[in-house]
Amino acid sequence: SFLSQANTLVKADAMLDVNNGKLIKNPLLVIQDGKIAAIENHKKYVVADGDTLIDLSGHTIMPGLMDMHVHLTSDATQHGYRRLTSSLPRVTLTGVKHAEQTLMAGFTTVRNVGAPGFADVALKDAINDGDLVGPRMFVAGRSIGVTGGHCDNNFLPFEYKAKSGGVADGPWEVRAKVRENIKYGATVIKFCATGGVLSKGTKVGVQQYTFDEMSALIEEAHMRGLTVAAHAHGLEGINTAIRAGVDSVEHVSFVDDETIKLAKKMGTYFSMDIYVTEYILGEGEKAGILEESLNKERKVGSIQRENFRKAVKAGVNMVFGSDAGVYPHGDNPKQFSRMVQFGMTPLQAIQAATINSASLLKQNEVLGSLEEGKIADIIAVKGNPLDDISVLESVSFVMKEGRVFKQLN
Ligand code: ARG
């Protein structure tokens, strides 16, 4: 037992219990084999010879953060036609840097919802093998979508025959694409249910895929034990994806009250990236985003924020999803203050990035909170995040699965 062997001990001034928003004073966590073996009070705990004590005095510890919508292989300065100039090996290497930046920002788990050529699978494997530093990754491989849709590559004319790896049309083709993604390592399925902002020539509000196609895709993924994320801005696409049984809807920009009610009833998670609009409209032109896309963003951003407020108020399951990759990796936490500005309590914003995300990933037995038996993904911040959510923008300590990746300085 932990009493008889050398342990890693983590002590701090306070620990945030994300389940009920309580701050527990003077915690001491006993870490064994990457898990939290016990939670004690450091005033009463006798440190044994040989134990390694990590002293986080002056700090509050909380569970590692989780971002349900990132693209680690995307670079925020390489939008539009610039993206076409990077090879698959090049974007994979850029993902190496972004994985480290994400972990250092306090995100110990991410869901990578789309990457070309299974670059995300390679990244995840290299991280798990200990070759690279990065978060625990759930990976989608190629995003699945209709010909010419948001998940296709529409930048070049016909004679170039450019087509994204995730293009599939019809119920059996989408099933086959799900199977192929799983074959090459996908652990989650992502598809595009409507047009998007950053794709060329798609209408952001317009549905892509019929109900039958979405049902087939989702049924196939569920049969294989994977959850499904749907990119959807427009109302019909959001509604159809929810009725087809999707696990999470991304963006959710033009949702209405009725569909919010449906999501609540179905237990569907909303992953609403309400920070990224500021980057797109502020920096996007310099970063190569097409005027067409900037125009679409002008119609999406503020409505999405108002609908975020409505969804929070209605009690929909909300997760933290940033779309980092469109904006710089490592800046993920900037979204927390916007989530509070647009209707969440600080605790709700933290729950979105911890226990709610763990539940969406069906990992709530092992991730999402600091409890005995769970994986030791621990971050530390100065001050009380329930009083000032912006402290999450400067995480000072990161432990993933019992290993320290960022030390106090
Ligand atoms: N990847 C998304 C798209 O192209 C980004 C949308 C971001 N805008 C927003 N307001 N959330 O559709």
The pLDDT, as a whole number, for residue 3 is: 55
Q: Are residue 37 and residue 176 in the same domain, yes or no? A: no
| pLDDT, tens only, 199-248 | 999 999 999 999 999 999 999 999 999 999 999 999 999 999 999 999 99
Q: Are residues 182 and 248 in the same domain?
A: yes
User: Which of 75, 208, 273 to mutate for ligand 1's pocket (most ligand atoms within 8 Å of CB)?
Assistant: 273
Average pLDDT over residues 272-284: 98
Q: Tell me: the pLDDT tens digits for 121-168?
A: 999 999 999 999 999 999 999 999 999 999 999 999 999 999 999 999
Four-point Cα dihedral 226, 232, 235, 238, nearest 10: 0
Whether residue 189 sits in one domain with residue 169: yes
Identify whether residues 59 and 152 lie together within a single domain: no
Distance CA 96, CA 99 (A): 5
* 302-340 tens-digit pLDDT: 999 999 999 999 999 999 999 999 999 999 999 999 999
For ligand 1, atom 10, name the residue with the nearest CA: 301
User: Do the domain assignments include residue 135?
Assistant: yes
CATH number of the domain bearing residue 28: 2.30.40.10
pLDDT tens-digit series, residues 101-120:
999 999 999 999 999 999 99
Which atom of ligand 1 sits closest to the CA of residue 204? Answer: 12
The total of structural domains in the chain comes to: 2
- Structural domain contains residue 339: no
Residue found by looking up tokens 């290993």 in the block: 403
Residue length of the chain: 409
Whole-number pLDDT of residue 409: 78
Distance 273 CA to ligand 1 centre (A): 7
Asked whether residue 272 is assigned to any structural domain, the reply reads yes
Would you say residue 159 lies in a domain? yes
The answer to whether position 346 is within a domain reads no
Same domain membership, residue 170 and residue 130: yes
Residue 224 lies in a domain: yes
Instruction: Say yes or no: 380 and 291 in one domain.
Output: no
Please report, for residues 14, 25, 28, 114, 394, the alpha-carbon distance to residue 53 in angstroms, rounded to integers and kept in the order given. 16, 17, 9, 40, 23
Find the residues whose C-beta lies inside 6 A of ligand 1.
196-198, 251, 273, 276-277, 297, 300-301, 304, 323, 326
Q: Is residue 1 very low, low, confident or very high in pLDDT (cuts 50, 70, 90)?
A: very low
Q: Same domain for 60 and 76?
A: no
How big is the CA angle at 184 (ends 180 and 188), to the nearest 5 degrees? 80
Same domain flag for 120 and 18: no
HSE-CB at 146 with a 13 A cutoff on CA atoms is 20
Our mutation pick for probing the ligand 1 site, out of 150, 323, 334, 335, counting the most ligand atoms within 8 A of Cβ, is 323
- Residue 15, domain extent: 8-64+369-406
Domain boundary among 332, 357, 383: 332
ipTM: 0.98
**Residue 4 binned pLDDT confidence (cut-offs 50, 70, 90):** low
pLDDT, position 99: 99
At 33, the pLDDT band (50, 70, 90 cuts) reads very high
Collapse the DSSP code of 69 into the 3-class scheme (helix H, G, I; strand E, B; otherwise coil) and give the result: strand
Tell me the residue type at 391.
Answer: V
> How far away, in angstroms, is 197 Cα from ligand 1 center?
5
Distance 326 CA to ligand 1 centre (A): 8
Q: How much is the average pLDDT of 357-375? A: 98
* 166 shares its domain with 235: yes
- Averaged pLDDT score across all residues of the chain: 97
Does residue 83 form part of some domain? yes
| pLDDT of 13 higher than 90 | yes
Rounded Cα–Cα distance for residues 340 and 275 (Å): 11
How far does residue 277's CA lie from ligand 1's centre (Å)?
A: 7
Q: Which of 310, 332, 354 is the last residue of a domain?
A: 332
Which atom of ligand 1 is the closest one to the Cα of 323? 1
Of 164, 275, 276, 306, best ligand 1 pocket probe by most atoms within 8 Å of the beta carbon: 276
Q: Is residue 293 part of a domain?
A: yes
Measured in Å, residue 280 CA sits from the centre of ligand 1 at: 9
Question: Where would I find the beta strands (DSSP E) of 305-396?
Answer: 317-319, 378-382
CATH number, domain of 198, equals 3.20.20.140
Q: Are residues 176 and 323 in the same domain?
A: yes
**What is the pLDDT, as a whole number, of residue 273?**
98
Instruction: Report the percentage of the chain scoring pLDDT > 90.
Output: 97
Domain boundary, last residue among 332, 357, 387: 332
Residue 251 C-alpha to ligand 1 middle, in angstroms? 7
- Are residue 326 and residue 381 in the same domain, yes or no? no
Assess whether 171 and 245 both reside in one domain: yes
